A and B are shown apart, each in its own frame.
Chain A
Amino acid sequence: MTDDIIRRAAKGNEEAFAALVTAHQHMVYNLALSMLRSREDALDVSQEVFLKVYRFLPSYHFDSAFTTWLYRLTKNAVLDYLRAKKRKPSSSLEVLEENGGVFRDEETSTDPFSNLLTAERRRMLYAAMDELSEAHREVIRLSCFCGESYESIAAILGIELGTVKSRINRAKKELRKILERRNYF
């Protein structure tokens, strides 16, 4: 995403802003989805995030990477949304059951890869993720859910590249161990 597109979008250029949304909607939506675990809620929050981006874009002065700014906006928006709905970010299985969301078989998305997982498997994966530390959970979200590169994750979180790699490896190992204990495989 070039700075020029961001500047044009900040001035109110609708085409430039649409390009901005298209480039970053994947990260925003999946980050919201990983935290909310509901496609409807993730859609609402994502729209809200981009409208906030449009409103506050004139105040973005390139002090940090755009994805960093966007990540913070998204995370805060999700936390505000959960606070409003009085839910925890890493919801217990009971809340997930109540919410339904990604764990209902009939709610499978059109994405072909996501259909590999049954609702039960999804539930187990999310439950295992809930047992990780927040730092490990964060890198798993950005790496696996959002598809961000290690360099991008390093910029977003403000940590070293080596730290990103080691955190991801340790997080995956822990997940594997948890799931092996639960006969996931």
Chain B
Amino acid sequence: MKDSRCEFFDETIERYLSGDVTKEEADLLEAHLAVCPHCQQAVANARTLGTHLNALKETPPEALLSGVMGGVRKQKKERHSARILLRVMPMAACLMLIVSVLLLFPGVMSQKDTIDFDDNMSGGLHDDTLCPSLPDTGEEEPSDAMPPAEESPEDGDGEADNEESVAAPEAAPTGTEQPIKPGASVSTSTTSPETSSGSEPTPDDGDSDLENGESAFATSGTLDSDIEVGTKVEADDHVTDAPVVSDKENTMTDQSRPDYGLNQDGTMDNTEAKNTGVWRNVLGILSATAGIGLLGFTVFLAVRRKKYEKM
């Protein structure tokens, strides 16, 4: 039966069982326990509770340690990869940004070396600083075209006598042994009295530079309009004063001339250049976007890493 002392001893049972009582307290309790079944039951219950509470704890499974060490190795690999990424990505980002600048602003690198080609082309050749002009003597400017031959008063009967080529004023107007230069019209000074008389000239007549068996094409600017441009002229043909050019030099036709990208009206056709520029800009923008994206991602990774370290 419970009495008032049970309340008192009830408070000391857990301390008694954990050994946290003085000797006097222990003696008093033991003396009470000898005569109080209620407190004996209380002590028994307290002992059972202690045993049962201890039974609640368990041994951790083996999977805990193995799982943890597996995760540790995985983290090590991830850290290593992250370290490499944080080193490589900024460099890649800078490279992409440099490429984008070079693509979007191509004049940046070559600005100092660029010559103002247009200005030079339009005025340079006629610019006094580059090409002092010759004093104006009232004469016509020399041209490559062969001037019309002048009739000699002595040849009133129609003889043609080309003495001199205008294209090569420095050359002695011998008309006999003049070498044929590419692009230059060469006179063939031939006097062919037989022409007027109707007889055929012999191959040795005249001063033609064409050797026997050679042929040439008549070019423009011939005195005699009988011979058309492009007409093949043999060495032994009747040649008066048609300037000839070796067929070795004049093998080009209009169809085979290279296309310099000229429109019908003579202006430059720059469609291709425009297309190239557009693609360059597109690539430049893509490159810049990729570079900025990479930089942003690098910053994000670095901040996240710092945050985890601070935690």
- The prevalent SS among residues of B at the interface is helix
Query: Contacts A47-B67, A116-B52, A169-B15 given: A55-B308 contact, CB under 8 Å?
Result: yes
Known contacts being A25-B64, A176-B42, A179-B49, is A17 close to B72, with CB within 8 Å? yes
A74 within 8 A of B: no
With known contacts A30-B57, A54-B72, A111-B58, A43–B14 Cβ distance under 8 A: no
The complex places the Cα of A5 from the Cα of B178 at a distance, in Å, of 105
What is the CA–CA distance of A21 and B15 in the complex, to the nearest angstrom? 34
Number of interface residues of A (CB under 8 A): 50
Q: Is the CB of A169 within 8 A of B65?
A: no
CB proximity of B306 to chain A, nearest CB, Å: 11
Quick check: B54 and A144 within 8 Å, CB to CB?
A: yes
Question: Is B68 in the interface zone, CB < 8 Å from A?
Answer: yes
Closest to B68 in A: A50
Give B61's nearest chain A residue, CB to CB: A43
Which A residue's beta carbon lies closest to that of B41?
A185
A47 touches which of B18, B53, B68 (Cβ 8 Å): B68
Are B311's CB and A117's CB within 8 A? no
Known: A51-B68, A114-B55. A176 touches B46 (CB 8 A): yes
Cβ contacts under 8 Å, B308 to chain A: 55-56
A29 touching B45 in the complex, CB below 8 Å, given contacts A109-B59, A117-B52: no
Q: Which of B53-100 contact A (CB under 8 A)?
A: 53-61, 63-65, 67-69, 71-73, 75-76
User: Is B49 a contact of A114 with CB atoms below 8 Å?
Assistant: no
A145 to B71, CA, bound (A): 26
B15, chain A: closest CB distance, angstroms: 5
Q: Which of A128-170 contact B (CB under 8 A)?
A: 140, 144-147, 165, 168-170
A59 interface hit (Cβ, 8 Å): yes
Q: Which of B11, B51, B73 contacts A173 (CB 8 A)?
A: B11
Query: Is B24 on the interface with A (CB-CB < 8 A)?
Result: no
Give Cα A121–Cα B264 distance, bound, in whole angstroms: 103
Residue of A29, A113, A125 touching B64 (CB-CB under 8 A): A29
B72-A169 in contact (CB<8A): no
What 0/1 pattern do residues 9 to 34 of B give for CB contact below 8 A with A?
A: 01101110010100000000000000
A34-58 CB contacts (< 8 Å) to partner B: 34, 39, 43, 46-47, 50-51, 54-56, 58
When distances are taken between beta carbons in the complex, the residues of chain A under 8 Å from B60 are 25-26, 28-30, 43, 46
Asked if A47 and B64 make an inter-chain contact with CB atoms under 8 angstroms apart, the answer reads yes
Residue of B nearest to A110 (CB): B59
- In the complex, whether A172 has a CB less than 8 A from a CB of chain B is yes
Q: Which residue of A lies closest to B16 (CB)?
A: A169
A10 at the binding interface (Cβ < 8 Å)? no
A175 close to chain B: CB less than 8 A? yes
A125-B52 in contact (CB<8A): yes
Contact A51 B71 (CB under 8 A): yes
User: Residues of B contacting A111 with CB < 8 Å?
Assistant: 57-59
Chain A residue nearest in CB terms to B53: A144
State whether the Cβ of A14 lies closer than 8 Å to any Cβ in chain B. yes
Say if the beta carbon of A180 comes within 8 Å of chain B: yes
Q: Which residues of A contact B (CB under 8 A)?
A: 12, 14, 17-18, 21-22, 25-26, 28-30, 33-34, 39, 43, 46-47, 50-51, 54-56, 58-59, 109-111, 113-114, 116-117, 121-122, 125, 140, 144-147, 165, 168-170, 172-173, 175-176, 179-180, 185
A-B contact pairs, 26 of them (CB 8 A): A17-B69, A18-B65, A29-B58, A29-B64, A33-B58, A43-B60, A54-B71, A56-B311, A58-B309, A59-B309, A110-B59, A111-B58, A111-B59, A116-B52, A122-B56, A125-B52, A125-B53, A145-B53, A165-B18, A165-B20, A169-B15, A169-B18, A172-B46, A172-B50, A175-B49, A176-B46
Query: 13 more A-B contacts (CB under 8 A) besides A14-B69, A173-B11?
Result: A18-B69, A21-B64, A25-B60, A47-B64, A47-B67, A113-B55, A125-B53, A144-B56, A169-B15, A172-B14, A173-B13, A185-B44, A185-B48
